[in-house]
């Protein structure tokens, strides 16, 4: 039965591998994967076959010689969309392709090889197929592999797949380069708020103190893609996500800031898709938005993506930065560590923006601890105009 499920410790019921379901379910998906009517994707013929067209998220060229213009472009995208694509970002295209190929190779390994790395809800590290520990809860159409890169004390190559043979070395190199890119984008985000370039990084625990982890997602072919989702609608709970998507099959959908409709992102070749997470929305006092997104699946092809999560130090209190709080702009969120924040996700799984909204309601009721400094300049920067 190892080809079908893992009954690993900590899960409330056997964990079914979606790859196995895809191979055996025929033309009808099991009821656990069927989403309520209001949550089902709208798959236009273009979205279903991977064609482009329609609105798209902003694209920012990081090779622009004008640093101020680059920062302004990033800030504008984060204020309106919470998403943007970066091109000319400095990570070699050959490395992007090697990383994708290595992880595709893992998901093509026999089930007994993949099951050696089966995860538990204690840390989610390893090979998994669900989020949340509620028994009988709805399931998404996807498997994944989750691993830590920072802090170094959490990183263990022994917990990474040994097959394909190139995977560990390629993932290590990929992780090092993406961390550098994240730090570069953090400086742009900070100056876009009118703050010193290192201010946002300092709030994360400074370089070397931050957290980084990666979730490699594998979405098998689905006979009824109109009924399910690879990942349900959510905003990312961490700081910032650097996403490398499949180079053949589209699937990421973002809620449009204008009309609230879902748009399917048309990826630029060799670009990263960057999105703001809940922790940066909190730190920026909602100047930057963490926006709901979800993943549709395909009837024709498997799809793979690599989500790199760049997070604040997990035990560091996170609250709106004092420079962005003023008498006419009170702190919108109470102080909370990232460890405390993600307990909600581990218990309930992905649930739209429910956790962030509950924090905002708590702050409005008087549970907020951040306050505006008497002199904004004394806090390390001037307030951002908005």
Instruction: Please tell me the predicted confidence (pLDDT) of residue 205.
Output: 96
Output the six-digit token pair for 33: 């994967």
On whether the CB atoms of residues 206 and 313 are closer than 8 A, the answer is no
Instruction: Please tell me the predicted confidence (pLDDT) of residue 136.
Output: 84
If we measure between CA atoms, which residue out of 194, 179, 201 comes closest to residue 79? 194
Instruction: Please tell me the predicted confidence (pLDDT) of residue 364.
Output: 67
Report the alpha-carbon distance of residue 70 to residue 80 in Å, rounded: 16
- Please tell me whether the peptide bond between 151 and the residue prior to it is cis, using omega within 30 degrees of 0: yes
- Residue-range domains of the chain with CATH: 18-39+56-313 (2.60.120.330)
If we measure between CA atoms, which residue out of 173, 175, 183 comes closest to residue 209? 183
Residue 37 pLDDT > 90: yes
Phi, psi of 337, deg, nearest 5 = -80, 160
Instruction: Please tell me the predicted confidence (pLDDT) of residue 52.
Output: 52
Report the alpha-carbon distance of residue 164 to residue 161 in Å, rounded: 8
Mean pLDDT of the chain: 88
If we measure between CA atoms, which residue out of 312, 318, 293, 295 comes closest to residue 236? 293
Tell me the pLDDT band of 194, cut-offs 50, 70 and 90: very high
**Segment 250-261, tens digit of pLDDT:** 999 999 988 899
On whether the CB atoms of residues 43 and 253 are closer than 8 A, the answer is no
Angle between helices 167-192 and 93-107 (to 10 degrees): 130
What number is the average pLDDT over the span 276-305? 97
What number is the average pLDDT over the span 204-208? 95
Residue 365 pLDDT > 90: no
Residue 49 pLDDT > 80: no
On whether the CB atoms of residues 355 and 341 are closer than 8 A, the answer is yes
What number is the average pLDDT over the span 109-120? 96
**Segment 130-188, tens digit of pLDDT:** 887 778 888 999 999 999 999 999 999 999 999 999 999 999 999 999 999 999 999 99
């Amino acid at each position: 039965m190892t080809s079908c499920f893992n009954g690993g410790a900590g899960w409330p019921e056997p964990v079914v591998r979606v790859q196995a379901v895809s191979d055996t379910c025929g033309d009808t998906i099991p009821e656990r994967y069927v989403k309520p009517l209001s949550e089902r994707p709208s798959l236009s013929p273009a979205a279903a076959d991977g064609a482009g067209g329609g609105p798209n998220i902003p694209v920012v060229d990081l090779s622009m010689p004008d640093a101020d213009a680059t920062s302004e472009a990033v800030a504008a995208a984060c204020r309106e969309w919470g998403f943007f694509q970066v091109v000319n970002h400095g990570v070699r295209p050959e490395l992007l392709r090697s990383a994708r190929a290595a992880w595709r190779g893992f998901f093509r390994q026999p089930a007994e090889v993949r099951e050696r790395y089966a995860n538990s809800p204690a840390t989610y590290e390893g090979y998994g197929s669900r989020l949340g520990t509620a028994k009988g809860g709805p399931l998404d159409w996807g498997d994944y592999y989750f691993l830590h890169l920072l802090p170094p004390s959490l990183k263990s190559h022994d917990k990474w797949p040994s097959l394909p043979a190139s995977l560990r070395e390629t993932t290590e190199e990929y992780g090092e380069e993406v961390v550098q890119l994240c730090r570069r984008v953090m400086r742009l985000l900070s100056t876009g708020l009118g703050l010193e370039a290192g201010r946002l990084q300092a709030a994360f625990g400074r370089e070397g103190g931050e957290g980084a982890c990666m979730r490699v997602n594998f979405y098998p072919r689905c006979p009824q893609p109109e009924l399910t989702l690879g990942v349900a609608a959510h905003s990312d709970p961490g700081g910032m996500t650097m996403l490398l998507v499949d180079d053949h099959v589209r699937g990421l959908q973002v809620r449009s800031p204008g009309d609230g409709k879902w748009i399917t992102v048309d990826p630029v070749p060799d670009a990263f898709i960057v999105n703001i997470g809940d922790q940066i929305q909190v730190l920026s006092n909602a100047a930057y938005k963490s926006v709901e997104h979800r993943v549709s699946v395909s009837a024709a092809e498997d799809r793979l993506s690599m989500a790199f999560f760049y997070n604040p130090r997990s035990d560091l209190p996170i609250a709106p930065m004092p420079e962005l709080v003023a008498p006419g702009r009170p702190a919108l969120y109470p102080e909370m560590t990232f460890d405390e924040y993600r307990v909600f996700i581990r218990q309930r799984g992905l649930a739209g923006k429910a956790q962030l909204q509950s924090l905002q309601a708590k702050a409005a009721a008087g549970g907020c601890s951040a306050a505006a400094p008497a002199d904004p300049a004394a806090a390390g920067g001037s307030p951002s105009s908005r």
